[in-house]
């Protein structure tokens, strides 16, 4: 009997220099998640926009597909999203405009892809106590970099003109603030492997400065520093190990400056 397959596009992304690592990491993660299901991942490929395309086979393939959509997002029409919905997305073109940060959340109209906008006034409200700080200051303080995955809430949509506006969910906002509340600084690195990170820390003799290496996405990590370690001071020491990966630093003093009235 022929077993039918399910194919789903999710919003995990590959990097050109780490395409094999992206597929390998995703297969490893999903095999663990699906270990109690009758499902097999028969193929992982990447679309032109570098989104992961997963092919599933087995009696529990629909359960697995729904899990993927809930946890990693998927391509959807602007007609299918509503104000208040939570979506998974990645920052795009960070610092490219002055009025906010675009988010690739897999939204499409009938004719084109749509990047949601996390507008500057929402950034200020959520990350700067409403103070009118420049966008670049907020980005630098919180270490926001290209391809950082987060969860967002739809705040507004406009069918005519195909526009969508978002803000961070409470969960993502808490995640972004977590090390800073604990008086720790952190590095956010997007576009590298855990193995490369560990090698960089060992060879640069900074392994003792890191309290935790946290996987954020397939090839996205946050390195929480030990108390007293300056995150931005580590970048010139280890940054060259990561090639074209994007690195941001969550810096206590910069955040404190944002919050001053």
Among 245, 140, 149, which residue's Cα sits nearest to residue 200? 245
pLDDT of residue 218: 83
Rounded average pLDDT per 10-residue block, the chain, 261 residues: 78 76 84 92 88 92 91 90 93 94 92 94 96 96 96 91 94 96 96 92 96 92 96 94 94 94 62
pLDDT of residue 135: 97
pLDDT of residue 84: 96
pLDDT of residue 18: 65
pLDDT of residue 261: 62
User: How many residues can be counted in the chain?
Assistant: 261
Instruction: Sketch out the chain's domains with CATH numbers.
Output: 5-72 (3.30.310), 76-169 (2.40.50.140), 175-259 (3.30.70.260)
Give, for 90, the enclosing helix (H) or strand (E).
strand 86-92
pLDDT of residue 71: 84
Residue 188 vs residues 76, 177, 238, 245: alpha-carbon distances, Å = 28, 13, 13, 10
pLDDT of residue 47: 86
Backbone angles phi, psi at 241, to 5 degrees: -70, -20
What's the predicted TM-score (pTM) here? 0.89
pLDDT of residue 28: 86
């Amino acid at each position: 009997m022929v077993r039918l397959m399910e194919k789903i596009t999710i919003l995990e992304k590959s990097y050109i220099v780490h395409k094999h690592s992206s597929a390998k990491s995703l297969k490893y993660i999903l095999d663990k998640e699906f270990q109690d299901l009758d499902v097999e991942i028969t193929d992982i490929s990447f679309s032109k926009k570098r989104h992961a395309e997963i092919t599933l086979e087995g009696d529990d393939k629909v359960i697995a597909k729904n899990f993927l959509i809930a946890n990693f997002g998927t391509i959807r029409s602007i007609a299918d999203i509503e104000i208040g919905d939570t979506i998974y997305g990645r920052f795009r073109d960070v610092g490219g405009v002055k009025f906010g940060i675009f988010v690739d959340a897999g939204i499409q109209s009938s004719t084109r892809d749509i990047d949601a906008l996390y507008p500057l006034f929402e950034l200020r409200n959520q990350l700067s106590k409403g103070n009118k700080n420049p966008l670049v200051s907020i980005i630098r303080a919180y270490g926001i970099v290209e391809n950082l995955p987060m969860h967002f809430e739809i705040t507004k949509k406009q069918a005519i003109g195909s526009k969508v506006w978002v803000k961070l969910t409470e969960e993502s906002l808490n995640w972004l603030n977590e090390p800073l509340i604990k008086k720790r600084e952190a590095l956010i690195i997007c576009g590298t492997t855990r193995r490369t990170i560990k090698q960089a820390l060992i060879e640069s003799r900074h392994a003792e400065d890191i309290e935790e290496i946290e996987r954020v996405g397939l090839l996205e990590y946050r390195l929480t520093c030990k108390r007293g370690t300056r995150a931005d001071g580590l970048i010139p020491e280890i940054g060259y190990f990561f090639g074209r990966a994007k690195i941001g630093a969550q810096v206590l003093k910069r955040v404190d400056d944002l919050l001053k009235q």
